[in-house]
Amino acid sequence: MQGLGQAPETPILALPPTEALRPEMPIDPRTGEPPRALPIAFAYAALLAAAAVQAAGLGLAWWRAIHMETFDSAVRLLAWAAPSPGSAASIFLSILMMATGVILVATPALTGYLGWVGRPVAMKWAIAAVVVTAATVFVTPPSWAIIWGNIGWLAVPFSLIGAGLIWLPQSRLALATWERFRGPASSGPDNTRPVIYGRLEQFQ
């Protein structure tokens, strides 16, 4: 079948599909990407659960901190320091409480996302997600009688489960496959000559 115009002297080259370039790499025909390992999916769910319970606990802590009658017992950070409500120290500690809470929520969520998109650095983040759960002690009430205020402690088992699943051999193999699928990072153009602005030489 003839098209419009003349065919170029040099044929147009195109790369074959990824499965033809790398037959050893498993490719999901629905997405054109490596399949995600089941432990990675479960790890993502567990880490999102860890982030969710931390967010719920932080929300209740903030609610208790903005009311005078529960301010001094809202979280251990405020109970230990015992600042006067409305003072500069109380404002600073409240900001510190929220900053700690943001870290506790963001770390497992980001870890799960990095694992889901196939970034091997997720394994390091998984360790960080477990380590930072120790900071939960600062943003939970000093009394275990406040059940909902201590819900953030559930992030500890969720983070341990998520980190353990990410470090499974099957998960590490899947992350390595995704890294090969992306290929090496570009180092930039080799031609580093200065850019010349204005008319080209042939038109001067």
Phi first, then psi, for residue 126 (nearest 5°) are -60, -40
Run of H or E including 69: helix 68-71
Residue 143 pLDDT exceeds 60: yes
Query: What per-residue confidence (pLDDT) applies to 43?
Result: 96
d(CA 199, CA 28): 49
Identify the DSSP state of 121: T
Q: Which residue has the higher pLDDT, 183 or 39?
A: 39
pLDDT at position 35: 81
- pLDDT at position 125 over 90: yes
Of the candidate ranges 21-35, 93-107, 138-152, the one whose mean pLDDT is the lowest: 21-35
Name the most confidently modeled range: 12-21, 62-71, 162-171, 182-191.
162-171
Q: What is the pLDDT of residue 168?
A: 95
**Bridge partners (DSSP) listed for residue 33:** 28
Per-residue pLDDT reduced to its tens digit, 77-99 = 998 998 888 889 989 999 999 99
The pLDDT confidence band at residue 117, using thresholds 50, 70 and 90, is: very high
Q: What is the pTM of this model?
A: 0.76
Structural domain boundaries in the chain: 33-180
111, 122 Cβ separation under 8 angstroms: yes
The pLDDT of residue 159 is 96
CB of 129 within 8 A of CB of 122? no
Half-sphere exposure of 56 (CA within 13 A, CB side): 15
The confidence score (pLDDT) of residue 186 equals 57
Closest alpha carbon to 110 in 92, 94, 124: 124
Give φ, ψ of 34 to 5 degrees. -60, 145
